Structure 1
Amino acid sequence: MRGNDQQAYDRGTSLFSPDGRIYQVEYAREAVSRGAPSVGIRTPEGVVLAALAQPSSELMEAESIEKLHKLDDHVGTTNAGHVADARNLIDYARRFAQGNQLRYGEPVGVEALTKHVTDYIQENTQMGGTRPFGAALLIGGIEDGNPRLFSADPSGTPHEWRATVIGADRSEIQSLLEDEWDEELTLEDGIELAVRALQVRSEELEAEHVNLVTVTPEEGYRQCPVEDVQDVLDRILEDDGEGDEEDGEGDEDEASDDTEE
């Protein structure tokens, strides 16, 4: 009987287990953790969204992998997890943003949009006959002239962030963001930090496998071309090379000191 009870909690999308867990939500989070990472960084100048879009086969067109999506002129999103689930949420967010514009004649707030989407996600953890969405979103944009960045996970919980990541290698990438993010980051610094974060997943990162957008008060949602991403990768490689040279010079100085002694 105990085994049958366990299966009931395991299969039920809206049942709490005796220790207060909803297993289907946890499984949905596991699906997110298996997806390619997506990074969001908030700076005083705007929001940076970046995602790894690496084809699973050499025969796949890299352009067909869509990881970044425009929800409105002033807000965008990126996702990790099941692509089909994410697209459903993205279409839902777009309809709400358009409806808000038609109904009230003003752009939807980033926080209001996020909470509307997370309410929709949460409903699927509470009703029979459905399952939780196996996808998470990062929603970033401009609200009243200020950059805002939110996450939405399969439980339907919204959180606001300065910088965060969803998808694979979350612990390592989040640690990097916590070490290198600060209040004085420029938009260019945020772009470079986002690319560095994706390098945790793939050290030999190629520009065409990085989807990157910025959302600023001046330009709104803007997708960065591959050439700009390549410039960032070249700059990172150059900076890392200079750091290695300085370390080498320090080792030589230590060796000469040892000789003199």
Structure 2
Amino acid sequence: MSFMPAAMGYDRALTIFSPDGKLYQVEYAAEAVRRGWTSIGLKSEYGVVLIAERRRVAPLHNVVDLEKVFIVDAHIGATFSGLGHDGRVLIDYARLIAVRHRLTFDEAIDVELLARTICDIKQAYTQQGGVRPFGVSIIFGGVDKKGVELIKTEPSGLYFKYYGVAAGVGEQTVSSYLEKHYNPKMTVEELIILGLRALRASLEEPLKVERVEIGFADISIKAFRKLAAEEVQRFLEKAGVTS
């Protein structure tokens, strides 16, 4: 006599709940996020910082050109963990949403409205036949008329606001480090240093400039920008994570 696994059948159809109330395809999408490269978001009253881990996927891969922190709009940035192709598609769509909002309302979109719109798309892909959930968590950070915002979206379509958050394979280690060392009064520079030290704690080797990408938005400037390689190197040295 053969026995079928408990999830058999329920994990093949996206729109069918298991007896214990689970959508297995959504849980598998969350697992794809947990296996992705680490991404970190931090905010304080002075601004928001996004930090993303990069890895070489082949011996001759030029990892410096691998983009993991994105400018979505002038005042909003994003990074993600999970399936890269899913992340790229949703980031491009987020940019389109932001542009349409500017053209329609003649104002910049709020970070939360952008995150909620992306989550509406994610949620729709959990209840339609013939599709699958997006296996990616996007972290949005920016400064809008409400102030500094940091939001993480989940594959299920949920989103939450944070002071410090991580996604990917190093999420637990990074989160534990942030819980111990985070201070809401930190400057943007201090947030960057904290994020780099948290990322280093989750890795087995020292950080190099090609392994990390950093972006930030300052409350006084209200614009999101990415650090050049030379700037990243200086912060790596300040954080003491190069050895």
Q: TM-score, normalised by structure 2?
A: 0.93
The runs of 5 or more residues in structure 2 that have no matched partner are none
Judge conservation of contact 1:42–1:48 (CA < 8 Å) in 2.
Answer: yes
CA distance in 1: counterparts of 2:7 and 2:149, whole angstroms: 41
Q: Which residue of structure 2 aligns with residue 144 of structure 1?
A: 145
Letter matched to residue 232 of structure 2: V
Q: CA deviation at 1:198?
A: 1.3
Instruction: Report the aligned-residue RMSD.
Output: 1.9
CA distance in 2: counterparts of 1:102 and 1:116, whole angstroms: 17
Judge conservation of contact 1:74–1:216 (CA < 8 Å) in 2.
Answer: no
Judge conservation of contact 1:140–1:148 (CA < 8 Å) in 2.
Answer: yes
Superposed CA deviations along residues 203-240 of structure 1, whole A, max 9, x for unmatched, are: 311012110001123150111112222222222229x9
CA distance in 1: counterparts of 2:200 and 2:104, whole angstroms: 43
SS at match of 1:54: coil
Select the residue among 210, 215, 220 that pairs with 1:208: 210
Runs of 4+ in 1 over 6 A off after TM superposition: none
SS at match of 2:10: helix
Q: Which residue of structure 2 aligns with residue 3 of structure 1?
A: 4
Count of residue pairs brought into register by the alignment: 240
Q: Which residue of structure 2 aligns with residue 257 of structure 1?
A: none
1:41 aligned onto 2:42:
yes
Q: Which residue of structure 2 aligns with residue 220 of structure 1?
A: 223
Q: Which residue of structure 2 aligns with residue 197 of structure 1?
A: 198
CA distance in 2: counterparts of 1:81 and 1:102, whole angstroms: 31
Mean Cα deviation higher: 56-65 or 161-170:
56-65
Superposed CA deviations along residues 124-157 of structure 1, whole A, max 9, x for unmatched, are: 0011111000111000101216110000010010
The runs of 5 or more residues in structure 1 that have no matched partner are 242-261
Q: Larger Rg: 1 or 2? A: 1
**1:63 to 1:230, Cα distance in 2 relative to 1, 3 A:** closer
Select the residue among 216, 233, 236 that pairs with 1:230: 233
SS at match of 2:71: strand
Q: Which residue of structure 2 aligns with residue 254 of structure 1?
A: none
Superposed CA deviations along residues 133-182 of structure 1, whole A, max 9, x for unmatched, are: 01110001012161100000100101000000010121111011111111
CA distance in 2: counterparts of 1:145 and 1:26, whole angstroms: 33
Q: Which residue of structure 2 aligns with residue 187 of structure 1?
A: 188
1:107 aligned onto 2:108:
yes
CA distance in 2: counterparts of 1:237 and 1:87, whole angstroms: 32
Letter matched to residue 90 of structure 1: I
Question: Greater share of helix residues, 1 or 2?
Answer: 1
CA distance in 2: counterparts of 1:24 and 1:2, whole angstroms: 21
CA distance in 2: counterparts of 1:14 and 1:220, whole angstroms: 41
**Identical pairs, percent:** 35
Q: Which residue of structure 2 aligns with residue 167 of structure 1?
A: 168
Q: CA deviation at 1:2?
A: 7.6
Judge conservation of contact 1:36–1:168 (CA < 8 Å) in 2.
Answer: yes
Q: Which residue of structure 2 aligns with residue 72 of structure 1?
A: 73
Q: Which residue of structure 2 aligns with residue 131 of structure 1?
A: 132
Letter matched to residue 210 of structure 1: V
Judge conservation of contact 1:46–1:142 (CA < 8 Å) in 2.
Answer: yes
Q: CA deviation at 1:3?
A: 2.9
CA distance in 2: counterparts of 1:76 and 1:138, whole angstroms: 8
Q: TM-score, normalised by structure 1?
A: 0.87
CA distance in 2: counterparts of 1:4 and 1:174, whole angstroms: 33
Letter matched to residue 153 of structure 2: A
